[in-house]
Every structure is written in structure tokens, then in C-alpha cells.
Amino acid sequence: MERRVFLKGLLTSSLLAALPIPRLNLRAALPPVGGRAWNYIGIHYPTDPLPGIAGSSATIPIMPTLPNGAYYTAHDWYSGNQDAYDPCVVPNPQPPASVTQGEYVVNKFHPNATDSDRGDNAIAGIVYGTTSRPRVSLPSIMPAAAGTKVFVYGDGTPRPTAYNVNRKVDYSNWAGVDWTFNGSRSNPCWIIGIGEPRIECNETAITNSTHLIVDGIVFDTSVFYGSSFDLDGCQYITFRNSAQYGINKNGLFDVSNSQFVMYYNNEVAYTGYNDGSHNGSDRHGVRPLYGARYVWFVDCHIHSVSGDAMQAGNSANRNPQSESPHFIYFAGNHCHNCGENAVDNKNSYHVVISECEFHDFKPEYNADGGTAVILSNNDEGPWTGFHWIIGSKIYDCQNGIRDSSDQDGEVCYVIGNVLYDITAGALVEQDSNRVNHETVYWVNNTIHNCGYGYLRARQQRSYDSYLEGNLFHNLVHSVFASSGGSGLRENDADSSMHVSNNLMYGNATGTPTTGWASWSNNIVGDSSNEDPRLTNPDLQIFTLGDGSPAIDAVQTESAAFQHFSNMYGMDIRCDYLGNLRNNGSMDIGATESSGTGGLAPPSPPILLGSL
């Protein structure tokens, strides 16, 4: 199936209406469009124009000034620029058979390996190595000039499958070396692994670097901390097809004061503890921190860390609001068995989580464990918001998606996700008791076999919550519940929640229909008339069967879809299987049975304050 992408600020609305809009494939499992590596709902590809302010790399959009109707096209990866390259699929150069200045070949396992000048492996006394006479050790090259290439060979040892299985180091002479690479768009620097070499990196800083591509390296450590990278003051850094294993470092891949960072198809694991007990320190996988802009984490496997798979923003950090991370894309990732959360968004803006798989987040793992996603966590940082989770699958956790926003004007969105086998609350609202006003949209999600569909632990005095087009199926306790000083109350209405176009079946009979801010067009009950006829939920097939009352039952489309289009210029009206949503009559839940498309172009940009 396909989607439509609209780019505002580059074309007028009248031109958009006149032009045929390309319909792109949504499923990463199908052939990507135009040679692209992936295509996820709501995620801008790095070679696209990007949301922000066009024309100047020095002009970074800071909330709440976005949107202004323009797109950021000045970046080096933009496909309209000469010498631009796609950081995900640009092919690796090949190691030289004859000695070549600036190109190093390292293979300690080769019988002819030497760091000595043998004539055919060196130029002007500098040993570069060749495929037939490689170097033994990594070269001393920092700061590295544009076009520098380092080819490193391993012996093909399989990656670790547990904390202490197949852990080793092949090359250790970069362990205490900080990196600076001065690549360019036309001549990037490369570090290329062949046979998955193990390079030791111990809290390595990558500073003031540009256009570096790392591919096929396994980074490990022999010291207590180690095996981490801290990016600072960098642009156009790509890590792909690699792995990082740690011991006790708080953030194996940290991004600060850097922009245009692609972290693609990597494994991140084994930090914070080394025995699998989940009793270690609070140590995270990847962290976009202060000053991070346009950072992608795509198709990664992040697991077995004692903290969060991804933590966006800094806990309890009171730096200026303008320095918080913006435009973080977390898509197609598989995260599981972490001590805390798959995603914990603290002070940050515009974090889009799309088509991820999160499971096995257990309360016994750690004090904050058990919740897969904390969409917004205002208790641990300044003003934050405009976070999205779209088309993702969450299961085998204590809680599914929790929103803890409580700042004036904050808006967050939960759209088109599937949550099943959640012990407590699938959708959870919880925050501190403040007088601010914020808004959350819970739209077109499918909730199956969970303790509670929506669990409110909100003490906020002023907020709006929109529950629209969701399908609640076979809940263990009740659709709605609240908890607070008086304990847990099932079937408790919320006077600040707008409830419309939902289907509630299975322990739904006691659901209140009054006491809400608004209640309209909901289907509630436990008879065959309310059964959504899911195809096979026990096998996690959540499509709608013939005759389902959920088909075409959404009478009013949620404003959340238009908000995304207005802010980012992309239409997300489709399900996680790639089916376009119907015009004017979407199905209830996360899947669409027979989408017709024909979506109109987005409206002109709107001010965030009017959302």
C-alpha cells in the first residue's frame, strides 16, 4: 500500500492541488521507493527537505515558533544538492590492492600483516597497508583529513548472544583516542569493517567532525565503563550496520550539540549489568541530548541495558529551553528487556516514534521499569512536547504508553498503535499536580487482552484528553479506571476527556456514558453486536473481519492527522500495514479494511497555539 507526502513551503497550496501527489510504499519489508533503505509512517527520509526553517544552516527552529510554512533544504544530505549522498545506502568503498595515500588497510589476522615499511605498503614512510600486506594496528590519524578511509578486518567471530558470550577486543590502540574527522559532502571519511572486527572504544569523544561514515564495526570494551561514543559539535555523522556493547556507561551513543546524525541498523546491548539480573545502574542505550537536531535511530536492535533503550533529553537539566533536542526520529527499532523504558522523552521537542516493536519491560527489572514508552516526562526536565508514537506494537509489559505531560500548551499524540498482553494500563496518563494546561490525543489504537484500556493517574487541574477511534477488546478488568489517593476506581469517567468513535468490547458493559467532557458515537457492550470480529488476535492478527461494526465507523476524523500534516508536511492517514485510511469514514482501531485514499492536500501552516 501507499502514502502521500506533501512538502509545504516549496510549493504553493494551489500548485499542490494541481500536481499529482506521489504515493509511496509504507512497509519497510517491501521494496523501498527510489532506492531508499526504509519508509516509515511520519518519518522524513534524510535526503528529503526537512521541517524547520529554510535557507540557513545557522537558523534552528525553536519552539514555539514552528511552523512557519518553510522547509529546511540547506542540509548536505538533501538530494537536490550536488554531491549529496544517502547515508543509509551509499555504497562502501573497497580496500585498495595497491598502496594508496589516505587509505589504510588493517588486518591483524593476515599472515603478512606488519606496521613496518616494506616498500609496497607505504608512501613516504607512512604505512597505509594493502589487502595483501595490511597493517597490524589501527593508524594514528587524528585529526583525519577529508577522504580518509580505514578498512579493518575481523576474524568473523559471531556477535555476543548473552552478557559474557563472545565478548572480545581485536584492536585496542584507539581505546583512549578521541576522534576528529574532517570529511566533506563530496569526500567523506570512512571506517569500514570487514568480517565484523572488534574495536575497543572507551568513552570515545567524536568532536568537531563532519561527514564520517562508520560501517560494519563491532565496538566492545575491556574496562568498567567504555564502549561508548559522545558526539559533540558534529554534523553528518553516520553509524550503520555496526554494534556497541558496554559494561557500565550511561549512554552508549550520546549526541550533544550536533545535527544530522544517522544511526542505522545497529545493535546496542549489555550495559549497566553483566549478569542478566537487571539489578544494575541506570545505564541507557542511545541518548539525543542538548543541542541535538535531526537525529535518526532506525532499524536498530536495542536490548539488555539497565536503563532506557532511548532517552531523549537530560534528566532534571535546567539548561535553556532552546537547547533541548529537536526532530528526533525513532523508527523500525526492536527494543526489549531493558531495565527502564524503550523510550523516555524528557525535555525535547518533535520526537516521532514510528513502527517500532517494544516488549518485555517488567517492573521487577528496575524502579522505573514496566512501562514501555514515556511519551513525555515533564517531571524530569523543562518544557517539552509535540511527541508522537505511530503504528508501533507493544506487548508483554506492565504498562504500555504513558504520558506525563503537564506544561502549558504541550501537545502529544498516540496514533494507530497495537497494544496487547499488558498487565496494567495500555494507555496511561500520569503527572504532578500543577495548574498548567496540556492536551493529549489517543487516536485509532487497538488494545487487546490488557488489564485496563485507559488508566488515569492524572492530578492535573486543567487539561484536555481526546480518546478517538480506539478499539478496546477483551480487557481483563475494565476499559477505564483511575487511581489516586482513594485507590483504584474502575469505570470512572473523566470530565476532561472527549470520547468519540470508539468501540469497547469485553468487560465493557459497566463503562460510563456520562461524566465526560463529551461522549459521542461510541459502541459499547459485550454482545455479538459489539464484537469487532478481529481476525485472529491470539496470533496477533488485528485486522477486522467481515461485518465488523468497527468498519467505517469513525464519523469524524481526529484533528491529530491534520496537526501532523500542518506541522511536518506529511500525511499519516494510513495504518501500520500500509493501508490508506478511508475518506470521512475510517475504521475504528489500528487497521483499515478498505482504504480509498483521495486525501486532500494539507491546509496552510497553523500556529501551534491554535492546536
Q: What is the pLDDT of residues 370-379, one digit of tens each?
A: 899 999 886 6
**259, amino acid identity:** Q
Nine-digit cell string for 30? 517491501
Query: Residue 571: inside a domain, yes or no?
Result: yes
Q: Report how far apart, in Å, the C-alpha atoms of 215 and of each of 88, 90, 91 are.
A: 10, 11, 10
552, 462 Cβ separation under 8 angstroms: no
Model confidence band, residue 362 (pLDDT cutoffs 50, 70, 90): confident
Give the model's pLDDT for residue 500.
Answer: 97
Domain count of the chain?
Answer: 1
Residue with cell 482501531: 589
Give the model's pLDDT for residue 367.
Answer: 53
Mean pLDDT, rounded, for 388-406: 92
423, 448 Cβ separation under 8 angstroms: no
Give the model's pLDDT for residue 306.
Answer: 87
Mean pLDDT, rounded, for 238-252: 88
Instruction: Judge whether residue 285 has pLDDT over 70.
Output: yes
Mean pLDDT, rounded, for 91-105: 98
Instruction: Select from 328, 398, 388 the least CA-distant residue to 358.
Output: 398
Give the model's pLDDT for residue 365.
Answer: 62
Model confidence band, residue 171 (pLDDT cutoffs 50, 70, 90): very high
- 487-532 tens-digit pLDDT: 678 888 888 889 999 999 999 989 999 999 999 999 999 999 999 9
For the chain, what is the mean pLDDT? Answer: 84
Query: Residue 419: inside a domain, yes or no?
Result: yes
Instruction: Judge whether residue 307 has pLDDT over 80.
Output: yes
Give the model's pLDDT for residue 604.
Answer: 36
- 544-561 tens-digit pLDDT: 999 999 999 998 999 999
Contacts of 235 (CB under 8 A, 6+ apart): 76, 209, 210, 211, 258, 259, 260
SS3 of 230-268: EEECCEEEEEECCEEECCCCCCCEEEECCEEEEEECCEE
Give the model's pLDDT for residue 53.
Answer: 57
Residue-range definition of the domain harbouring residue 403: 189-610
Give the model's pLDDT for residue 275.
Answer: 56
86, 260 Cβ separation under 8 angstroms: no
Mean pLDDT, rounded, for 120-148: 97
Q: What count of other Cβ atoms lies within 10 Å of the Cβ of residue 522?
A: 20
Q: Report how far apart, in Å, the C-alpha atoms of 397 and of each of 460, 574, 576 are.
A: 26, 26, 21
Query: Residue 529: inside a domain, yes or no?
Result: yes
Query: Residue 347: inside a domain, yes or no?
Result: yes
**31, amino acid identity:** P
Of 25-39, 248-262, 464-478, the poorest mean pLDDT is in 25-39
Query: Residue 487: inside a domain, yes or no?
Result: yes
Contacts of 595 (CB under 8 A, 6+ apart): 1, 574, 575, 579, 580, 581, 582
Query: Residue 161: inside a domain, yes or no?
Result: no
Question: Of how many residues is the chain composed?
Answer: 611
Query: Residue 408: inside a domain, yes or no?
Result: yes
Percent of the chain at pLDDT > 90 equals 61
Where residue 387 sits, what CATH number does that domain have?
A: 2.160.20
Give the model's pLDDT for residue 276.
Answer: 53
**Dihedrals phi, psi of 504, to nearest 5 degrees:** -130, 115
Model confidence band, residue 359 (pLDDT cutoffs 50, 70, 90): very high
Of 79-83, 164-168, 251-255, the poorest mean pLDDT is in 164-168
Nine-digit cell string for 273? 549489568
Give the model's pLDDT for residue 410.
Answer: 81
Mean pLDDT, rounded, for 306-318: 83
Instruction: Judge whether residue 571 has pLDDT over 50.
Output: yes
- 425-455 tens-digit pLDDT: 999 987 655 556 678 999 999 999 999 999 9
- Residue 398's SS3 state is coil
Instruction: Judge whether residue 311 has pLDDT over 60.
Output: yes
DSSP structure class, residue 13: H
- 108-133 tens-digit pLDDT: 999 999 999 999 999 999 999 999 99
Strands (E), 216-348: 218-220, 229-232, 235-240, 243-245, 253-256, 259-264, 267-271, 286-288, 293-298, 301-305, 310-312, 326-331, 334-336, 343-345
Give the model's pLDDT for residue 61.
Answer: 46
Model confidence band, residue 458 (pLDDT cutoffs 50, 70, 90): low
Query: Residue 346: inside a domain, yes or no?
Result: yes
Residue 43 or residue 225, greater confidence: 43
Q: What is the pTM of this model?
A: 0.91
Task: Compute the distance between CA of residue 430 and CA of residue 300 in angstroms, rounded to an integer.
Answer: 29
Residue 552 or residue 584, greater confidence: 552
Mean pLDDT, rounded, for 42-65: 67
Which is it for the CA torsion 328, 41, 475, 364, positive or negative?
negative
